[in-house]
A and B are shown apart, each in its own frame.
Chain A
Amino acid sequence: MGIGSDMYRQQIMDHYKNPRNHGRLESPTFTHTGENPSCGDTITMDVQLADDGETIERVAFSGDGCAISQASASMLTQRLPGTTLSELEAMDTDDITEMLGVDISPMRIKCAVLARQVAQDGAKIHDGEIEIEQTKTEDGDD
């Protein structure tokens, strides 16, 4: 079955079972939390910036939820270091599905993009662009 699964290819399952950069940073520049209310997925992203205040140096995540949300967060913590905040803010859904390397079914997109949304909202709060306590993705479940 493992080989036959479209969405749960080896890379996703590997990141889910062995999450990278899982835990908290000692002194993050900013930290932010978000959830998918209908799924119960929660993600906290800690982001540490370089001295230029713009380049992402380290990222860690914690939380729990479905394999797609957690693997996506794990992969994002590897992807972001070296990029700038404006590059982070420009990331869209296609960038995430490309990173995951699998087709995500429409109903699961919100799981896949949660970590990105949390990181982006965290960056915006850091920049003083928005003021929110927590990211909540749109609840499309009924």
Chain B
Amino acid sequence: MRVQESYPVDVDAIRADFPILQRKVGGDISTPGEHDDDDTPLVYLDNAATSHTPEQVVDAIIDYYHGYNSNVHRGIHHLSQEASVAYENAHDRVAEFIGASGGREEVVFTKNTTESMNLVAYAWGLDELGPGDSVVMTEMEHHASLVTWQQIAKKTGAEVRYIRVDDDGRLDMEHAKELIDDSTKMVSVVHVSNTLGTVNPVSELADMAHEVGAYAFVDGAQSVPTRPVDVEDIDADFFAFSGHKMCGPTGIGALYGKRDILEEMQPYLYGGEMIRSVTYEDSTWEDLPWKFEAGTPPIAQGVGFAAAVDYLDDIGMENVQAHEELLAEYAYDRLGEFDDIEIYGPPGDDRGGLVAFNLDSVHAHDLSSILNEQGVAIRAGDHCTQPLHDKLGAAASTRASFYIYNTREEVDALIDAIDAARELFA
């Protein structure tokens, strides 16, 4: 009980909700789902890539398929009506979770953060950007926004600018002031860096955007799962995040947008579900958010998304954040004990729940392979931030990222596995 009491969340109880954490790894990977030859306990530290799914969320999805599976918004029949109510309510629930007072009309369900970004880039950017305009991002953007705005800028003749990251892994806000000017139409910034762990002053950046009449788009893929987020406090015009990084299923994410802006925007995908009336000559669009959700939507995933939000709210996002920070600081301190380990980003007491690093003598991919052989699942590569890695002078890095079910003992297991790699390469 003492160990349990030393965490901001009840780790033992939470772990019991995630059966996958009990499995072993190491056997034949060509037979997914068959674990007979697995013999190594799993230490899962790749949560920034995807989190695991608690039984409560899986149950909600099962309830949907067993109980009221149907297409939405079409059938007059009972099942379709139940499915429609559940899917619509899921929008309200997710809106409430991020402080969007406009409810469902301000939350569009998408496939993931990347699609949310592309929706705005295509639906707003193609129409509104042109030569002489600029989009301001940061040097720590994920490819989801960096590549998207870069390519939309190429199509429209707009310019992309990147706010400098300083040696501590923080944004150079003086540079931001220089870059955000009258030409700026969009300031698109990542909330919590998936590589550096930096928590960016997005509210301040949104204010700077608004001062010059630009919109602020916040990439919340790593922030919504890990801390309380209120999009209206931030005053973001757009805000994107994914379900699968916050205990929800894959295949669903969300785009928050201020209602008046979404109203003005034209659809990005055309087809069924999103129209009000169609003739051979023309069409009109459904109300928000449906005009942006063409085709049969991810209904089961939407129901699962709402269940994930319920699950996290039961734990309390303040507690989730405290747990993340506790583990990040512990990992930062333990990794910091070694002179041959370089850690990227700000100090341990000022970061989100992830730590990216390199071990001098061992390439990140070798290190992750050796850690994998010991059951430790971490991420190695460029984490979709290639330009940032170029700036850091590292082709790749190794990243450990934490969630509500991780423990200090798992960080210790990571350190032990690194020791083994160091020994092998000595």
Contact = CB atoms under 8 A, between A and B. Distances in A.
Contacts of B372: 105
A1 B29 CA distance: 22
B288 interface: no
Given A5-B424, A40-B395, A141 B381 contact: yes
Given A7-B369, A8-B370, A67-B366, A38 B424 contact: no
Most buried by A among B362, B363, B365, B372: B365
A23 B152 CA distance: 44
A38 B372 CA distance: 19
A6 B366 contact: no
Contact of A40 (B362, B396, B421): B396
B322 to A, nearest CB: 30
A68 B373 CA distance: 15
A66 B365 contact: yes
Interface in A1-33: 1-2, 4-8, 13
Given A40-B396, A141-B382, A66 B363 contact: yes
Contact of A2 (B29, B365, B384, B424): B424
Interface string A69-109: 00000000000000000000000000000000000011010
A68 B365 CA distance: 9
Q: Which bracket fits the contact residues of B?
A: 20 to 34
Contacts, number: 63
B365 A108 contact: yes
A119 interface: no
A7 B365 contact: no
A39 B420 CA distance: 22
A40 B386 CA distance: 11
Contacts of A68: 365-366, 369
Interface string B40-51: 000000000000
A40 B363 CA distance: 9
Interface residues of A, number: 23
Contacts of B396: 38-40, 141
Interface in B364-392: 364-366, 369-370, 372-373, 381-382, 384, 386
A81 B364 CA distance: 32
A47 interface: no
Contacts of A5: 370, 373, 424
Contacts of B362: 67
Contacts of A63: none
A3 to B, nearest CB: 10
B381 A8 contact: no
A4 B425 CA distance: 14
Contacts of A138: none
Contacts of B369: 7-8, 68, 105, 108
Given A5-B424, A67-B362, 17 more contacts: A1-B420, A1-B423, A1-B424, A2-B423, A7-B369, A8-B369, A38-B381, A38-B396, A39-B364, A39-B395, A105-B29, A105-B369, A106-B29, A108-B369, A141-B381, A141-B396, A142-B143
Interface of B: 29, 143, 362-366, 369-370, 372-373, 381-382, 384, 386, 394-396, 420-421, 423-425
